[in-house]
A and B are shown apart, each in its own frame.
Chain A
Amino acid sequence: MHEPDEALLGRLRAGDASAFEAVIAAYQRDLYRLAYRFTRNMEDAKDLAQEAFLRAYRALPRFDGRSSLYTWLYRITLNLCLNHRRGKMPEATKETTALADPAPGALEALAESERQAAVAAAIASLPPQQRATVILRVQQGLSHKAIAEILDCSEGTAKANFFHAVRNLRARLQGYGAQEGSDAVR
């Protein structure tokens, strides 16, 4: 449980330099995870999360408080992620380890691993706004309202993005999971 954003903002505005360290402590894991979802690379994700904090600190005097602190931090990170090696596809899942492992459950692990790789690739292939929406909503657990703040759009647009993103993922992931029956709709 970290200090509430309002309290942190109050300390920042009062010139308490230690408050920004508290901001970092509160959000560094979230921003790292967000960056990892985009880059699929731990080192890149660490660098991007750090860069997001550095930029946020320098931009603090311009932060007007209309959005919440965490949606502002997410927005900075998201912009960095979207501009980071634009078009780079996620790394392929390492299959060799699972194939060489004869332990019980290896085949199931391989199937799960393949499925996760397929999901990651499908998400990476979405248009940027849809990709961001799926990551923020499903993987980071944010509300549509918060996503709208981060993407600087209306809540309705955020919901529409999510709807199209899931439809696209559904279409790209035919064959993974319990996905029979959609052709039989009336």
Chain B
Amino acid sequence: MRCDEIQALLIEVADGALAGALPPEVERHLADCGACRAEAAALRELLRTVAQDPVPEPPAPYWAASRQEMARRLGLRQRAAGPARPLPVRAWAWAGVAAALLLVVGVTLLAGRGLFPFAPSGPTPEETALLRNLEVVRDLELLEDVDILQDYELLRTLASQGRAT
């Protein structure tokens, strides 16, 4: 094998494409020819130097910051929101105040039917009957309470008499 034939293969040899699979005639030529051996070494050294050309890395926090910046620019975060973060205490307090205010306003408006002008203004006959029944029940409960109080007074009297005897 001649040197010019070997030369065409030396780049592949240096590149590693033929690593471990050099044809025997190439190996024989390299063993005998100092010039081709030197050329093979020079090519290996050249590729090693090219491969080792350093790349300065940005500071470590850059990568995450860059991802966030890109996600923001692409609007990814809104659509791929993670678990909701708990609100801070002050936010909870304000949320509670707002909810209470809404409740008060809502009840007031509903009581005055302000929000539902299409609703009837007075109670229906069924509602009136129900209210009447509720009043009866309340009176019964009051009577029961009175009975209980009377029983209680009677027991106290008996007890005090018993202690005196």
Contact = CB atoms under 8 A, between A and B. Distances in A.
Given A46-B62, A50-B70, A116-B49, A184 B35 contact: yes
> Interface centre among B45, B54, B74, by most A CB within 10 Å?
B74
Interface in A102-145: 115-116, 119-120, 123, 134, 137-139, 144
B67 A181 contact: no
> Which of under 10, 10 to 19, 20 to 34, or 35 or more describes the interface residues of A?
35 or more
Interface residues of B, number: 44
A144 B57 CA distance: 26
A5 interface: no
Nearest to A51: B70
Contacts, number: 122
Contacts of A54: 70, 73-74
A16 B73 CA distance: 17
B82 to A, nearest CB: 8
Contact of A177 (B35, B42, B67, B69): B42
Dominant secondary structure at the B interface: helix
A74 interface: no
B66 to A, nearest CB: 6
Contacts of B80: 16-18, 21
B47 interface: yes
A56 B73 CA distance: 13
A29 B57 CA distance: 9
A71 B33 CA distance: 41
Interface of B: 2-4, 7-8, 11, 14-15, 17, 33-39, 41-43, 45-47, 49-58, 62-63, 66-67, 69-71, 73-74, 76, 79-80
